[in-house]
Structure 1
């Protein structure tokens, strides 16, 4: 049964004042706002951040602000639907482009939000996470999970840029966001991407997970790209050629709040993605992709990033007739699944 609910203005002012004096609020005037029919109210807007716009501004930031004054030199990719001051791309996703110049060191710290780094350009930089030194190569995904010490350094000669993806908005909303500073880490010899370099084979015995909740911290792009090409060749009729970045010991998502994926579009392919509850971030690693989100269309060149709200269908089109296109994707799927609200429409 559907009927119009009473408005706050329908209540006498003295009654409203009395409620407010006792920290009470009537639900019915706002009920449709927090529980709308059929589709949630969404602040996230479809938004495109071209790298050719970001890059010169990021390099200018490198000239204006030394790393000692910035600690992390980042330009935040803010979604206008949430307000630029909120510094978030979606309800649970924060995005930022981070710059590290030759010889710089971003000091060690740890924090409660989970983070990943998708390397955008440059060579010679590294990120040490929990004592494991991870080389930064374009297209690599590097984890810095909640509570783990991490620092970044640069031994090369050219600027290095990467895309930060954090669940910061969610952790901040929960009033659980904070960081702790630390000193330089002692590098350990183990590297997870070597121990788990081949699918289907893992160090024996499998059940000994030791003390590491995150046995693999660096996911080389060369391996992910090869997996996509093998999958496409093995299943030529498969539409969505996609792989998920997972924990190699459990098969679960590599982090516990946000999901991360790599997607290949065959030459000239158009791929419709169904409307799903989580918001989605797309970052172009190689090629050019046309992205349609409802009435909006973006063209992603290499290193461009865009965001689409949840409950919205997305259509991807590879603009090249003879070359594949490769994208990195991030979304809120693990969070929605844990909360029991994940759905596909």
Structure 2
């Protein structure tokens, strides 16, 4: 049926439409194609690029304008214009923010229902304490702050530390379950999951079962992740997609239960085309330089050049091509997507 022939709200008598509204009723048929379009979903997420060179000076200026005691969390939100800037969303289920912590500052302990992770962008000397476990923060480290766990940030170094926050906040807000609680300084407990589970394939033996923690590993050091990617590339030179997934070391499940997190290595000069999948995806460049081409439903794909610490977003159901801009050095990217959520809902798709 042609669009011009489809039922429209204005085709109905105004008195009938008003009678429906008086009873809090809405006719479905005029809007059916909007909520159930043919073949491919309607997506508000747009291909978007956030350049770190533009973000950093504004973030440092925020440090001058607003003390941490007033801000609590000093963050610039990476908002996708397709969702409108006011909604502070990178995609339908992902929130992104660049957070600044200055030397000597302490971001108070709190906990909240949305899951969060921190990807450290630059700086040394900061730490995050999660559920009593103190996690040092170094460039490229991934640190989990899962739903319901107390966490705070402190800085004992001499230079600003900046990290990328990734949360499933839009989903929690949509479900009307998003809230936070404030707390006091945490007492640091002995032991760290990144030391306990440092080697893949080897886990501690216990007489009485596993650790009992839902999230036994909270910090994933970049030095180990990078080494794993290089080892995978060297061991399997014919493998095109040199990618690892951040997982729970005791169960093999995704590191968190709503969003998925990955690290990608592009060999020198490599071009890699990823298939179109249902979830939206975020790409953050840790090392090197990369070109990103997003095959949106137009004649001209959207292309971005990612320099170190740049971030971009691609909507779901679109293919993405990654290209290493260096002919002699690898490039490394951190990726986040909505795959765990899609699999739980039974809507995960990969399209050729």
Do both proteins adopt the same fold according to a TM-score greater than 0.5, normalized to the shorter chain?
yes
Query: What residue in structure 2 maps to residue 67 of structure 1?
Result: 68
Query: What residue in structure 2 maps to residue 127 of structure 1?
Result: 128
Query: What residue in structure 1 maps to residue 307 of structure 2?
Result: 301
Query: What residue in structure 1 maps to residue 152 of structure 2?
Result: 151
Q: 1:242 to 1:206 in 2, by over 3 A?
A: farther
Alignment of 1:260-299 (within 5 A): 260-294=261-295, 295-299=301-305
Aligned residue for 2:83, secondary structure, equals coil
Aligned residue for 1:81, secondary structure, equals helix
Deviation at 1:119, TM superposition (A): 0.1
Runs of 4+ in 1 over 4 A off after TM superposition: none
Cα distance in 2 for residues equivalent to 1:210 and 1:254: 15
Deviates more, 1:204-213 or 1:70-79: 204-213
Cα distance in 2 for residues equivalent to 1:167 and 1:206: 36
Instruction: Give unpaired runs (5+ residues) of structure 2.
Output: 296-300
Alignment of 1:201-220 (within 5 A): 201-205=202-206, 208-220=209-221
Cα distance in 1 for residues equivalent to 2:46 and 2:207: 43
Query: What residue in structure 2 maps to residue 83 of structure 1?
Result: 84
TM-score (norm 2): 0.97
Deviation at 1:91, TM superposition (A): 0.2
Contact 1:206 1:249 in 2 (8 A): no
Q: Does 1:317 align with 2:318?
A: no
- Paired positions, count: 345
For the aligned residue pairs, the C-alpha RMSD in angstroms reads 1.1
Alignment of 1:1-345 (within 5 A): 4-205=5-206, 208-294=209-295, 295-345=301-351
Query: What residue in structure 1 maps to residue 298 of structure 2?
Result: none
Instruction: Give unpaired runs (5+ residues) of structure 1.
Output: none
Write the deviation string for residues 170-189 of structure 1: whole angstroms up to 9, x where unpaired.
00000000000000001001
Cα distance in 1 for residues equivalent to 2:208 and 2:46: 44
Q: 1:164 to 1:206 in 2, by over 3 A?
A: farther
Aligned residue for 2:109, secondary structure, equals strand
Deviation at 1:296, TM superposition (A): 1.1
Deviation at 1:277, TM superposition (A): 0.3
